[in-house]
């Protein structure tokens, strides 16, 4: 369970209404039962239920069960598409170990707005589901141009482009260090965007194979290749 509290021996954790409902209403836990929690910073802890009501409750930290483990420094940058597919992208990126998930507005991006809080909640759920101790940060929608204007010198960028000929080998040959993967919208990138991206010294144009993948499939394929090369 993800909790927004510092964790340490004897620390009391007040539950939100939703968490209390889940633990005591759905999972039917009672006072004295154990619950594993993490907060994205202090590793995983075993807690005991001290107070169990349907709308609130308190857990008390007993013992650390795993140290904090952060994923490699990888950003997943993507152009948001339809709501359900964007949700899928955030969920899969969190499961597959992206350290930061960054929706970006490109020339052919249809959504002008995202619900950052909702997407962050999906990332939390995905982190809970896969038993990690880390929750990736989901940033707010940024313009691609703005992101490239302030691109960090030491961060490599795998720019996934279906117009690039060749096989999916470059991502699999990535070298260690801060990385980012960029996936475009359903309409792909515009020519000015391609030119700008190709001119960025840290950018590597990457093919994911000869077929045009849907953006959500491309995210999973690119993360898989990157994990093969540099994953933990
Ligand atoms: N513009 C394209 C079209 O309509 O023909 C399709 C874009 S594709 C659905 C969405 C994004 O997925 C692309 O911008 C790219 O980042 C990524 N992508 C899909 N297939 C790819 C491939 N074979 N190689 C590299 N990237 C790919």
- Which of the listed residues 168, 213, 223 should we mutate to test ligand 1's pocket, taking the one with most ligand atoms within 8 A of CB? 213
In this predicted model, what pLDDT tens digit does every residue of 49-83 receive, in sequence order? 999 998 899 999 999 999 999 889 999 999 998 88
173 pLDDT tier (thresholds 50, 70, 90)? low
- Which of the listed residues 169, 184, 205 should we mutate to test ligand 1's pocket, taking the one with most ligand atoms within 8 A of CB? 184
Whether residues 109 and 176 fall in one domain:
yes
Whether residues 124 and 210 fall in one domain:
yes
In a domain, 2, yes or no: no
Whether residues 87 and 191 fall in one domain:
yes
Atom of ligand 1 nearest to the CA of 183: 16
Strand order in the sheet with 34-38: 12-14, 57-66, 44-52, 34-38
Which residue has the CA at smallest separation from atom 21 of ligand 1?
A: 162
Predicted TM-score (pTM) of this structure:
0.90
CATH assignment of the domain containing 180: 3.40.1280.10
Q: Inform me whether the pLDDT recorded for 140 exceeds 90.
A: yes
* pLDDT computed for residue 232 by the predictor: 74
In a domain, 217, yes or no: yes
Region for 32 from its dihedrals, namely left if φ exceeds 0, alpha if ψ lies in -120 to 50, beta otherwise: left
Short-list 232, 27, 42, 213, CA closest to 133: 42
Region for 218 from its dihedrals, namely left if φ exceeds 0, alpha if ψ lies in -120 to 50, beta otherwise: alpha
Short-list 83, 37, 86, CA closest to 57: 37
Whether residues 102 and 182 fall in one domain:
yes
Short-list 207, 214, 155, CA closest to 187: 214
ipTM of the complex: 0.97
- Compute the distance from residue 189 Cα to the ligand 1 centre, in Å: 8
In a domain, 1, yes or no: no
Q: Which domain holds residue 35?
A: 12-66
In this predicted model, what pLDDT tens digit does every residue of 85-132 receive, in sequence order? 999 999 999 999 999 999 999 999 988 889 999 999 999 999 998 888
Residue 2 per-residue DSSP state = B
Short-list 9, 27, 10, 30, CA closest to 18: 27
How far is residue 53's CA from residue 58's CA, in Å, rounded to a whole number?
Answer: 9
Residues with CB under 6 A from ligand 1: 160-162, 183-184, 186-189, 207-209, 211-215, 218
In a domain, 149, yes or no: yes
- Compute the distance from residue 43 Cα to the ligand 1 centre, in Å: 37
* pLDDT computed for residue 96 by the predictor: 93
- Compute the distance from residue 161 Cα to the ligand 1 centre, in Å: 6
* pLDDT computed for residue 196 by the predictor: 95
Q: In the chain, how many domains are there?
A: 2
State mean pLDDT over 21-26: 94
């Amino acid at each position: 369970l993800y909790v927004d509290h510092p964790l340490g021996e004897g620390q009391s954790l007040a539950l939100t209404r939703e968490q209390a409902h889940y633990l005591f209403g759905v999972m039917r836990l009672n006072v004295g039962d154990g619950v594993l929690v993490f907060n994205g910073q202090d590793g995983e802890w075993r807690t005991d239920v001290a107070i169990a009501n349907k709308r609130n409750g308190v857990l008390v930290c007993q013992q650390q069960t795993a140290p904090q483990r952060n994923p490699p420094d990888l950003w997943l940058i993507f152009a948001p598409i339809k709501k359900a597919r964007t949700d899928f992208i955030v969920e899969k990126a969190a499961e597959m170990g992206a350290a930061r998930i960054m929706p970006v507005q490109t020339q052919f991006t249809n959504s002008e707005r995202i619900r950052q809080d909702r997407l962050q909640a999906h990332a939390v759920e995905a982190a809970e589901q896969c038993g990690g101790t880390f929750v990736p940060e989901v940033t707010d929608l940024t313009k691609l141009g703005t992101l490239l204007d302030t691109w960090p010198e030491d961060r490599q960028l795998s720019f996934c482009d279906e117009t690039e000929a060749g096989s999916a080998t470059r991502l699999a040959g990535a070298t260690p260090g801060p990385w980012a993967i960029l996936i475009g919208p359903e309409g792909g990138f515009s020519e000015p965007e391609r030119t700008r991206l190709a001119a960025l010294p840290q950018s590597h144009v990457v093919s994911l194979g000869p077929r045009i993948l849907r953006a959500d499939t491309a995210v999973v394929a690119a993360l898989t290749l990157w994990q093969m090369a540099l994953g933990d």
